[in-house]
Structure 1
């Protein structure tokens, strides 16, 4: 009898007689119950028809056809006829457009071609049906191979299906969660959740007691098991354009097993393809956006029509209120000519800015990041100053977590109304950016990260100069003599002068700040007076010296790379 069954093959009627499927109902196509079952697959994308060989039992909740029209659905049904499938197993409950009409068409298709349609309760697992069918068809090793091909084809069809709604990653995770009957989530290398299914949670922390484990099948990825409120399987995946991603399975319903790893491996292949696709699209959009922003910021838009077109493509309001911010960094640990390191650092900066500035468009300008930020017209200067300095601190903290030697600085232009006036704010932002280091030296904390152009005061006039010889006209003659002093102690004298003025000409505090003896500080001031002829009792002359020190710092900045 057993030999006869093997010869005749496994039929749909025998499948219905299985104890595990006692709740399954035949709703159409009774005359096709003797059809031989040669395989089984899940319809999670309409194009799955291209990947089947014929004789399969197809499992569907119609979710793959949720958005297609009735006419498109008829085309898919006709494709099934050519492949001569054995049966369809239907699960209702998911929201599908024109569901009743589509089910009616399936029933007509079933009766016309003698293909049975079976209905299972919504809570029933498709994977259990797949396992049951495969156990009848193959031994354990072949079952795994067939299951791999089945899942691979499903995910391949899903990955190749056009995704106009940007839900590619979510769709892949949704299919995987249904196959393994556990919630799943994917995280980037910073442990930020990129997508998840219900019950997966949005946080990931690799525990110290996490242990490697073998999934029972060949893999290029690292598997970890860790215990917590819910046991998790964490799969580390190296990517080509990212350092890594983590696919996390939470063992809410059942332990993660070898069959689950086979499904996960196929899902990872689809995820890699989807991430690559998204990355390529994002890079193209960034390049396109960069070109538009470059033209607007540099006043290269020559007509209202062109301006309207560009703002439409950029997704900004032509009459909105905006500020331009120029961000940059200094890496105190890398070599000046290390271009690759600077590009990588700038990408980190761009990501941090994007996370902390809302209503903004970001433009990569070599080793600087230019931000067009939409702002409220009625926001006070003080409110905005606090806001941008807080943003600069948050960006600095995030960048420091990546590399403690990176120092962030930002220059901010004034508020302008209308995109047409952005070049003015951009010019001011660049000038404020150049002044940040100088401001750091003259500010009380010595560590100013953000500078508003409107806060520059008298130094706005100096920002208009780009000729060192003209700038020197604002430096007192006596101070020029100190900077031209050739002896080794010149730098010590300049630092002593700055400190002495910052400490309101208090020698005791000056000596404390410089960690020198009081007599040493007094000697240096006496030396400075002899070289420069400065009268420290003359308030106007002292003010001129203070301004001169700032001008010298500006000249230094004009003559070197600023980041």
Structure 2
């Protein structure tokens, strides 16, 4: 819709104007028409002007003519029209040379045409364009404002913009599609495929999208298979919360429409803020409910089931607890705040369609999830949790992750038991550096030890056999306990133990002698090895 210099030369009396220099500037955009009366006119130029003059100010001054051309070009003036006759017999050659050099269109105006006849048709077009721009911007703004007032949410925003732009519109945030709108008459299969392709892109937002300026549109081809898209990051509290994406599959949006959508992005941000506030309240309520279940604080099971139902969670049936934990490179890890929220996001997105929903809460640098257990769940759970581990590791490469899963139980009173089992499984996962989830049901003898781990006799037993060894490690910053565990795991084979510990065989022999000296036990005795293995297994189950 913008008016270019080349277009202006076909309007009214300008059809008789002659372009004498600066052809490469014919695509300059004209935003205003002005008349030059004084030599210092450049200081008042803002760019985009079609400037008209009779040349009186510079008719006898070649140096001033040079300076005017360069100053006007530097200010971004669209074109410079000179009307010869009264003060000039023609366009000075030096001005032609300077204008050609800087690419400023220099026009020789017809001498018999008043300025007003040149200006009026241009102003009429410019005013009409401004009216059109304002009308389209207001149309988008009012459209989105009505969506806001009707309370149809982000889905309503997408539907309204799809109708307005005649293109499919999506809103993505928190790794998932929050809304999708399709124009009428569009192919549903194609659009469904588009949405799936975009879903994969925004599941983990690429760095180049994270660096976009909030509420500013960018034209991008997000993948080779997709058409060009208008992408507008939507920010709340100076943080990008999501992305408005318009696929230009039916038609390309013009500059005015894109600017209007940028203006309307503030209303999308309001919807984000509103939905986020609702979501945060729901998250808090879900967290409180799960905390009560994990602590076993259940006064009335019926009331708990109703509270869960109001939050879209079905707690009837078998329930299992998942615990995701992590260990950073040190205690001052910068990830301690980011990781729980990222893991919560991963759990919610991977289990978004799980029947009955999922309850998730962050506790003590761990993330705990509770979900209903179906026959299909047992098959799908390892794969989904493996995806979560892989995604978390990709995001935080220096952090060790582990996942523990408790057994499923029928009845709310057993959620606490499943939680305790999941914590044991997590401890084993972290100790073994497992790259896959560990299920309590697969822990073998540890399942039996789990029920005696808190007995005073179990504590006394562990202290008797490995208490001195652990105390020595703590005092001398050694790791003889780990050496003993590795030695017993490898059936007392020195070569395999050395390979597993990445040390020389002689180092293992020296450490084993030290262990026998500290514990006072002969490692060649089968009963001693069994007792030490039992003590080590019990310590795996306790903090």
TM range (shorter): 0.5 to 0.7
Distance in 2 separating the partners of 1:298 and 1:486:
34
Q: Does 1:170 align with 2:155?
A: yes
Q: Deviations over 1:211-253 (max 9, x none)?
A: 9xxxxxx995142344945641332324116634333333333
The change in CA–CA distance for 1:273 and 1:334 in structure 2 (over 3 A counts) is farther
The change in CA–CA distance for 1:454 and 1:251 in structure 2 (over 3 A counts) is closer
Aligned to 2:252: 255
Verify the 8 A CA contact 2:232 2:262 in the aligned structure 1. Answer: no
1:512 aligned residue (499, 503, 509): 499
Please, which moves more after superposition, 391-400 or 526-535? 526-535
Q: Does 1:223 align with 2:212?
A: no
Q: Deviations over 1:400-438 (max 9, x none)?
A: 233223443333333322xxx323232332343145324
Verify the 8 A CA contact 1:483 1:490 in the aligned structure 2. Answer: no
Which runs of structure 2 are paired with 1:378-393 in the superposition (5 Å)? 379=375, 387-393=380-386
The change in CA–CA distance for 1:268 and 1:475 in structure 2 (over 3 A counts) is same
Aligned to 2:347: 353
Which runs of structure 2 are paired with 1:307-326 in the superposition (5 Å)? 307=304, 309-316=306-313, 320-326=316-322
Distance in 2 separating the partners of 1:288 and 1:189:
19
Aligned to 1:144: 133
Verify the 8 A CA contact 1:437 1:448 in the aligned structure 2. Answer: no
Verify the 8 A CA contact 1:411 1:453 in the aligned structure 2. Answer: no
Shift of 1:385: 6.2
SS at match of 1:139: helix
* TM-score w.r.t. length of structure 2: 0.62
Aligned to 1:87: none
Verify the 8 A CA contact 2:155 2:180 in the aligned structure 1. Answer: yes
1:414 aligned residue (393, 396, 407): 407
Distance in 2 separating the partners of 1:193 and 1:303:
35
Verify the 8 A CA contact 2:325 2:402 in the aligned structure 1. Answer: yes
- Equivalenced residue count is 397
Shift of 1:349: 0.9
Q: Does 1:433 align with 2:420?
A: no
The change in CA–CA distance for 1:289 and 1:478 in structure 2 (over 3 A counts) is closer
Aligned to 1:195: 180
Shift of 1:505: 0.9
Which runs of structure 2 are paired with 1:470-509 in the superposition (5 Å)? 471-475=458-462, 477-485=464-472, 491-509=478-496
1:240 aligned residue (229, 236, 249): 236
Please, which moves more after superposition, 349-358 or 470-479? 470-479
Aligned to 1:544: 531
The change in CA–CA distance for 1:446 and 1:169 in structure 2 (over 3 A counts) is closer
Distance in 1 separating the partners of 2:474 and 2:269:
63
Verify the 8 A CA contact 1:186 1:195 in the aligned structure 2. Answer: yes
Shift of 1:308: 5.1
Verify the 8 A CA contact 1:482 1:490 in the aligned structure 2. Answer: no
The change in CA–CA distance for 1:422 and 1:415 in structure 2 (over 3 A counts) is same
* TM-score w.r.t. length of structure 1: 0.60
Distance in 2 separating the partners of 1:297 and 1:149:
52
Q: Does 1:457 align with 2:445?
A: yes
Verify the 8 A CA contact 1:186 1:196 in the aligned structure 2. Answer: no
SS at match of 2:323: strand
The change in CA–CA distance for 1:302 and 1:446 in structure 2 (over 3 A counts) is closer
Aligned to 1:91: none
Q: Does 1:185 align with 2:170?
A: yes
SS at match of 2:229: strand
Q: Does 1:372 align with 2:338?
A: no
The change in CA–CA distance for 1:222 and 1:401 in structure 2 (over 3 A counts) is farther
Distance in 1 separating the partners of 2:167 and 2:511:
74
Please, which moves more after superposition, 482-491 or 401-410? 482-491
Aligned to 1:328: 324
Please, which moves more after superposition, 324-333 or 451-460? 451-460
Verify the 8 A CA contact 1:329 1:408 in the aligned structure 2. Answer: yes
Shift of 1:257: 1.0
Aligned to 2:146: 157
SS at match of 1:256: coil
SS at match of 1:475: helix
Verify the 8 A CA contact 2:322 2:369 in the aligned structure 1. Answer: yes
Aligned to 1:117: none
1:363 aligned residue (360, 365, 370): 360
Shift of 1:137: 12
Verify the 8 A CA contact 1:292 1:314 in the aligned structure 2. Answer: no
Verify the 8 A CA contact 1:299 1:423 in the aligned structure 2. Answer: yes
